Amino acid sequence: MPPRKNKGGLLARVNFPLYTIQMLTSRHVIVGGGGGSSKTGVANGFEIFELSHDGWSFVAEEVTRHETGPSVVMNCAAFNDGKRTWLVAGQESHCQLYNVIPRVLTLENGEIQSKTDKSTDEDTQSNVRQRKLNEKNVTPENTKEKVQTIREDNSHVIRKKLQLLLKPSTSIQTDFSDSEPLQRIVRVSPNGKVMATGGLDGVIRLWKFPQLVKLHNLEGHTKEIDDIDFNLSGNLVATIAKDGQAFVWDVTKGAKHKELSWNTPDGAKYMYKRLRFRIPLEKKSKTELFMLSNAILAKNPSYLQLWDVDQGSIVKSVEFKETLSAMAVSDDGKFVAVGTMFSGTVDIFIAFSLQRALHVPGAHSMFVTGLEFLPTKLDGPAITSNSETAVVSISVDNRICIHNIPFRHSLPFWLVIVFIVLSICGALLFCSFMGI
């Protein structure tokens, strides 16, 4: 089946380069980035958008903006246990923990009627700005209940809206390199018990979550860490670094479980860029891991690889003609998405076969920095649309885009049988009429 092409829909633009993306709920996505500590006038921080579908296309409405001062947000991870949501973000050498505070806004004829705890307002009003609650009301400058509204008629309209506020909590140092320490990646295990961080010093640090108490130091890499991921049960964590090595660690023991290596074509040098465990479709499925491998020399191809972790071998791979920069795996384990470095292209593949299902060339004008599938298993109802799956992409071009695969429409089996019977009857009548 040839891949379907899609121009990709622009969801939103922000006024700073984007480096990290996470889904907070089934409908809320958070993006982070910034211009750094230099006085360029480019802000640093987060934007939270609520996603919906209007029957024709996906729509993003900004609900919260949180600025982080001089600290650019290069990486983050979120965890939702069904009751509470936490966000952890790398800010220079430290990891900052945020409590995500839900706030239900009741809009009556466009006017906010919500009741909010005063302490939440006081903690957040200095650094949270909300905009565009709807097209007809003027939004407050802070989280106080001061709004101006526009009433179009005398109709009585009540609408509920969920806003998410970020309340800073614990901050810990996670990288201790000699010069300019920097956390490069953070991940939280799917069961929410362990957090892993990696930075320029090449040490993977495991922390009890959300208490952020040190559990283990995993020492094996000799250069800065590029990516980390936990398997579904949280007992394994995989890591890659600029030393060209890929390790799988036992989380409980804090020890190396397996090293992954492969025979590169013609002995060419390759570096792993991103990795994600594939969510198993069955409980007894083998442990599989997706990895992006980029050639050191541009003339050599790059690869999306599907690894069998238990066997330490590559099961399937897809070749690319350019450097790869981002990857995401859907939470149902059916799809994997890849973003490229130079052309800003986004591709979606069927996970088990690595057959390309969607190709979006030039989705961004610069390299893709992050990808995130719309979830099917987070709290709240999923977004109703005509899509089998959809992935949100970000880039340093300040754009947030979405790329979706429409459902494949097929005829019911009974209708096919009726059509066959009618065709046969029609053929017999025609032959009888012609005297054949």
pLDDT tens track for 52-104: 998 889 999 999 999 999 999 999 999 998 889 999 999 999 999 999 999 88
- Tell me what pLDDT residue 7 has: 45
Q: Residue 266: helix, strand or coil by DSSP?
A: helix
Confidence of residue 108 (pLDDT cuts 50, 70, 90): low
Handedness of CA 52, 54, 55, 59 (dihedral sign): negative
Helical ranges in 331-412 per DSSP H: none
- Per-residue pLDDT averaged across 380-406, rounded? 90
The residue assigned the tokens 């009556």 is 108
Confidence of residue 378 (pLDDT cuts 50, 70, 90): confident
Q: Residue 332: helix, strand or coil by DSSP?
A: coil
Q: pLDDT: is 372 or 8 the higher one?
A: 372
Whole-model pTM? 0.82
- Tell me what pLDDT residue 408 has: 65
- Rounded to whole angstroms, the Cα distance separating 162 from 17 reads 26
Helical ranges in 113-220 per DSSP H: 118-124
Q: pLDDT: is 388 or 154 the higher one?
A: 388
Residue type, 26: S
Helix H or strand E segment including 247: strand 246-250
- Rounded to whole angstroms, the Cα distance separating 226 from 67 reads 25
**251, 194 in Cβ contact below 8 A?**
yes
- Tell me what pLDDT residue 415 has: 65
Confidence of residue 423 (pLDDT cuts 50, 70, 90): confident
pLDDT digits (tens, 9 = 90+) for 129-170: 443 333 333 333 333 333 333 344 445 667 777 889 999 999
> How many Cα atoms within 13 Å fall on the side-chain side of residue 362?
1
Which range among 110-119, 205-214, 363-372 shows the weakest confidence by mean pLDDT?
110-119
User: Exposed/middle/buried for 339, CB within 10 Å: 0-12, 13-18, 19+?
Assistant: buried
**276, 246 in Cβ contact below 8 A?**
no
Candidates 329, 363, 269, 24; CA nearest to 163 is: 24
- Rounded to whole angstroms, the Cα distance separating 238 from 231 reads 8
- Tell me what pLDDT residue 414 has: 64
- Tell me what pLDDT residue 356 has: 97
- Per-residue pLDDT averaged across 188-207, rounded? 97
Helix H or strand E segment including 426: helix 413-434
Q: Residue 432: helix, strand or coil by DSSP?
A: helix
Q: pLDDT: is 47 or 159 the higher one?
A: 47
- Tell me what pLDDT residue 434 has: 75
**305, 314 in Cβ contact below 8 A?**
yes
Candidates 53, 45, 58; CA nearest to 14 is: 45
